[in-house]
Amino acid sequence: MIGKSSKLAMALLALSLGSLLVVEFAEARRGGGMRGGGMRAMRGGPAASGSFNRSIARPSRSPGFDRPARQPGYSRPTRDLSSTTIDRDRVNERVDNRQDYREQRRDRVDDYYDDRRDWYEDRWRTGAYLSIAAWNRMSCPYTTTIVDNITYYDCYGVRYERVYRGTEITYIIVN
């Protein structure tokens, strides 16, 4: 005889298993553009380079991405307080405030670079371009416009350009 709690546990187990499978499937569908199959997959990465060296397998990212390095030899100027007679508590408080301010500023800078990194990675991974297969799947009734010998494809109000990207043709969004 199965108890009520056991039934509940089994139901939850089944639900959990099901949700895990759904997550796996959804994750597998993210990214890339495999031709012909039902599942899409990312197709880039370091192993695609077939190179022995890191510098080629993982070419450096674009300028502006890395956190700017401070100039060598740079040090923050400090004030000499030894010859000044002031209230020690007030000095400590001011130092604490300044440290807080620096930490907040550092946090803001970190956030900025994190946001920029996210933006960069999102742009790289999703949305900004389409594989030929994805383009074809859209069955888009596009029109073409030629500007400076470049052909642009207008589809549902979005302008694309066909480009050569890593040994394959890709449609990138240009507006």
Partner 1 sequence: MKQFSQVLLVLLSLQLAHSMPAQSDTKPGASESSSAGSTASKLDPKALDILKRMADYLAAAPVFSYRSESNYDVVQPSGSKIEFGASRRTLVARPRHLRSDIQRRDGLRGQIVFDGSTIWAYEPDENVFAQASQPGGLDESLLFAVTELHIKTPLIDMLSAEFYSRLTDKLIGAHDLGEKVVEGVVCDHLLMRNDYADIQLWISSGDEPLLQRVVITYREEEGQPQYRARLLEWDLSPEYKKDSIRFEPPEGAERIRFYVQDADQGLHQEDES
In the complex, which residues of this chain contact partner 1 (CB under 8 A)?
5, 8-9, 12-13, 16-17, 20, 24, 27-28, 30-31, 34-36, 41-57, 59, 61-65, 116, 120, 123-124, 129, 132, 149-151, 161-170, 172, 174
CB nearer to partner 1: give 23 or 109: 23
CB nearer to partner 1: give 100 or 121: 121
Nearest to 163 by CA among 140, 131, 138: 131
Q: Do residues 134 and 29 touch, judged by C-beta distance below 8 A?
A: no
- Report the nearest approach of partner 1 to the CB of residue 103 (Å): 27
- Report the nearest approach of partner 1 to the CB of residue 89 (Å): 47
**Residue 145 to residues 29, 131, 170: CA-CA distances in angstroms?**
33, 20, 17
- Report the nearest approach of partner 1 to the CB of residue 148 (Å): 9
Q: Please count the helices (runs of H) and the strands (runs of E) in the chain.
A: 4, 5
**Residue 143 to residues 36, 131, 160: CA-CA distances in angstroms?**
25, 18, 10
- Report the nearest approach of partner 1 to the CB of residue 105 (Å): 23
CB nearer to partner 1: give 92 or 136: 136
Report the alpha-carbon distance of residue 113 to residue 119 in Å, rounded: 10
CB nearer to partner 1: give 81 or 174: 174
DSSP string, 61-87: PPTT-SPPPPPTT--------TT----
CB nearer to partner 1: give 98 or 165: 165
- Report the nearest approach of partner 1 to the CB of residue 87 (Å): 49
